[in-house]
Structure 1
Amino acid sequence: MKVVNSLKSLKGRHRDNRVIRRRGRTYVINKTQPRFKARQG
Protein backbone atom coordinates (compact mmCIF):
# COMPACT_ATOMS: atom_id res chain seq x y z
CA MET A 1 0.00 0.00 0.00
CA LYS A 2 1.26 3.46 -0.90
CA VAL A 3 0.91 6.48 1.36
CA VAL A 4 0.55 9.44 -0.99
CA ASN A 5 -0.18 13.16 -0.87
CA SER A 6 -2.64 13.28 -3.74
CA LEU A 7 -5.24 10.53 -4.06
CA LYS A 8 -7.01 12.34 -6.85
CA SER A 9 -4.15 11.73 -9.26
CA LEU A 10 -4.02 8.07 -8.26
CA LYS A 11 -7.76 7.66 -8.78
CA GLY A 12 -7.45 8.48 -12.47
CA ARG A 13 -4.90 5.77 -13.18
CA HIS A 14 -7.41 2.91 -13.29
CA ARG A 15 -11.13 2.87 -13.95
CA ASP A 16 -11.92 0.59 -10.99
CA ASN A 17 -10.32 2.82 -8.35
CA ARG A 18 -12.63 3.97 -5.57
CA VAL A 19 -11.95 6.71 -3.01
CA ILE A 20 -13.30 5.71 0.43
CA ARG A 21 -13.14 7.36 3.86
CA ARG A 22 -12.68 5.09 6.86
CA ARG A 23 -11.83 6.09 10.44
CA GLY A 24 -10.62 9.56 9.43
CA ARG A 25 -8.31 8.21 6.74
CA THR A 26 -8.87 8.31 3.01
CA TYR A 27 -8.19 5.22 0.94
CA VAL A 28 -8.07 4.28 -2.71
CA ILE A 29 -9.08 0.66 -3.17
CA ASN A 30 -9.21 -1.44 -6.29
CA LYS A 31 -10.61 -4.96 -6.36
CA THR A 32 -9.19 -5.91 -9.75
CA GLN A 33 -5.70 -4.34 -9.43
CA PRO A 34 -4.62 -4.41 -5.76
CA ARG A 35 -1.37 -2.60 -6.56
CA PHE A 36 -3.33 0.67 -6.67
CA LYS A 37 -4.19 0.52 -2.96
CA ALA A 38 -3.26 3.78 -1.27
CA ARG A 39 -3.84 5.68 1.96
CA GLN A 40 -3.82 9.33 2.91
CA GLY A 41 -3.77 10.76 6.44
Structure 2
Amino acid sequence: MKIVNSLKTLKTRHRDCRVIRRKGRTYIINKTNRRFKARQG
Protein backbone atom coordinates (compact mmCIF):
# COMPACT_ATOMS: atom_id res chain seq x y z
CA MET A 1 0.00 0.00 0.00
CA LYS A 2 1.29 3.41 -0.94
CA ILE A 3 0.95 6.44 1.31
CA VAL A 4 0.61 9.43 -0.97
CA ASN A 5 -0.18 13.14 -0.83
CA SER A 6 -2.57 13.17 -3.76
CA LEU A 7 -5.15 10.42 -4.15
CA LYS A 8 -6.76 12.09 -7.15
CA THR A 9 -3.94 11.03 -9.45
CA LEU A 10 -4.14 7.41 -8.32
CA LYS A 11 -7.90 7.35 -8.74
CA THR A 12 -7.58 8.05 -12.46
CA ARG A 13 -5.25 5.12 -13.09
CA HIS A 14 -7.99 2.48 -13.15
CA ARG A 15 -11.72 2.76 -13.65
CA ASP A 16 -12.63 0.52 -10.68
CA CYS A 17 -10.82 2.59 -8.06
CA ARG A 18 -13.00 3.71 -5.15
CA VAL A 19 -12.32 6.45 -2.60
CA ILE A 20 -13.30 5.36 0.91
CA ARG A 21 -13.00 7.24 4.20
CA ARG A 22 -12.43 5.24 7.38
CA LYS A 23 -11.48 6.64 10.79
CA GLY A 24 -10.29 9.95 9.38
CA ARG A 25 -8.09 8.31 6.76
CA THR A 26 -8.80 8.28 3.06
CA TYR A 27 -8.20 5.07 1.13
CA ILE A 28 -8.21 4.06 -2.51
CA ILE A 29 -9.19 0.44 -3.00
CA ASN A 30 -9.81 -1.61 -6.09
CA LYS A 31 -11.62 -4.94 -5.99
CA THR A 32 -10.69 -6.11 -9.48
CA ASN A 33 -7.02 -5.06 -9.54
CA ARG A 34 -5.65 -5.20 -6.01
CA ARG A 35 -2.42 -3.48 -6.99
CA PHE A 36 -4.08 -0.08 -6.69
CA LYS A 37 -4.19 0.56 -2.96
CA ALA A 38 -3.29 3.82 -1.31
CA ARG A 39 -3.79 5.67 1.93
CA GLN A 40 -3.77 9.34 2.84
CA GLY A 41 -3.70 10.82 6.34
Question: Which of the five TM-score ranges fits, normalised by the shorter chain?
Answer: over 0.9
Aligned-residue Cα RMSD (Å) equals: 0.4
1:13 and 1:35 mapped to 2: Cα distance?
11
1:5 maps to 5
So what's the TM-score if we normalise by structure 2? Answer: 0.96
Q: Extract unaligned runs of 5+ from structure 1.
A: none
Q: Which runs of 4+ in 1 moved over 2 A?
A: none
1:16 maps to amino acid: D
So what's the TM-score if we normalise by structure 1? Answer: 0.96
Q: How many residues align?
A: 41
Identity among equivalent pairs (%): 80
